[in-house]
Amino acid sequence: MMKIIAFTIVYNEEELIEKCLENAREQGLIPIVIDNGCTDGTIDIVKSMRIPVFERKTKGYHVYLMIEWAILKAKEIGCDWYVLKDADEIFETYDGRKIFKVVNEASKAGYNCMRFDMYEFWPTVYDDLSIKDFTKRIQHYTYFDSNHLKMLKNNPEIYTRDPHRPGRSSVIKESPIRLLFRHYRFIGLEQGRRKAKRRLAKRCLSKKKYQPFYNFANRFGKDEDKFYVLEKKVASKLNKFDGTWNKEKVFDCWRKRRDDSNEDNFC
Residue 101 has pLDDT above 70, yes or no: yes
Q: What integer pLDDT is reported at residue 256 of this predicted model?
A: 39
What distance in Å separates the CA atoms of residue 138 and residue 187, rounded to the nearest whole number?
A: 8
In one-letter notation, the amino acid at residue 136 is K
What distance in Å separates the CA atoms of residue 69 and residue 34, rounded to the nearest whole number?
A: 9
Is the CA virtual torsion 43, 29, 195, 128 positive or negative? negative
The verdict on residue 52 lying in a domain is: yes
pLDDT digits (tens, 9 = 90+) for 144-191: 776 677 898 988 677 655 555 555 556 888 999 999 999 988 887 777
Confidence bin at 126 (pLDDT 50/70/90): confident
Q: Do residues 112 and 170 make contact, with C-beta atoms less than 8 angstroms apart?
A: no
What distance in Å separates the CA atoms of residue 173 and residue 163, rounded to the nearest whole number?
A: 16
Residue 54 has pLDDT above 80, yes or no: yes
The verdict on residue 29 lying in a domain is: yes
What distance in Å separates the CA atoms of residue 153 and residue 103, rounded to the nearest whole number?
A: 9
Q: What integer pLDDT is reported at residue 160 of this predicted model?
A: 54
Between 59 and 168, where is the model more confident? 59
pLDDT digits (tens, 9 = 90+) for 188-242: 777 777 776 666 665 545 455 545 445 555 555 555 554 455 555 566 777 765 6
The verdict on residue 47 lying in a domain is: yes
The verdict on residue 69 lying in a domain is: yes
What distance in Å separates the CA atoms of residue 25 and residue 155, rounded to the nearest whole number?
A: 23
The torsion angles phi and psi of 219, rounded to 5 degrees, stand at -65, -45
3-state secondary structure of 138: coil
Q: Which range in 92-101, 114-123, 149-158, 214-223 is most confidently predicted, on average pLDDT? A: 92-101
Is the CA virtual torsion 9, 14, 20, 24 positive or negative? positive
Q: Average model confidence (pLDDT) for the chain?
A: 77
CATH number for the domain including 16?
Answer: 3.90.550.10
Q: What integer pLDDT is reported at residue 20 of this predicted model?
A: 95
Confidence bin at 252 (pLDDT 50/70/90): very low
Residue 263 has pLDDT above 50, yes or no: no
Q: Do residues 226 and 82 make contact, with C-beta atoms less than 8 angstroms apart?
A: no
What's the rounded mean pLDDT across residues 245-261? Answer: 53
The verdict on residue 185 lying in a domain is: no
DSSP state letter for 139 = -
The verdict on residue 84 lying in a domain is: yes
Based on the structure, what is the number of domains in the chain? 1
pTM of the model: 0.80
Is the CA virtual torsion 75, 77, 78, 80 positive or negative? negative
What distance in Å separates the CA atoms of residue 6 and residue 85, rounded to the nearest whole number?
A: 7
Q: What integer pLDDT is reported at residue 166 of this predicted model?
A: 53
**Enclosing domain of residue 110:** 4-115+147-171
The verdict on residue 99 lying in a domain is: yes
The verdict on residue 85 lying in a domain is: yes
What distance in Å separates the CA atoms of residue 158 and residue 253, rounded to the nearest whole number?
A: 34
HEC-encoded secondary structure of 140-202: EEEEEEEEEEEEEECCHHHECCCCCCECCCCCCCECCCCEEEEEECCCCHHHHHHHHHHHHHH
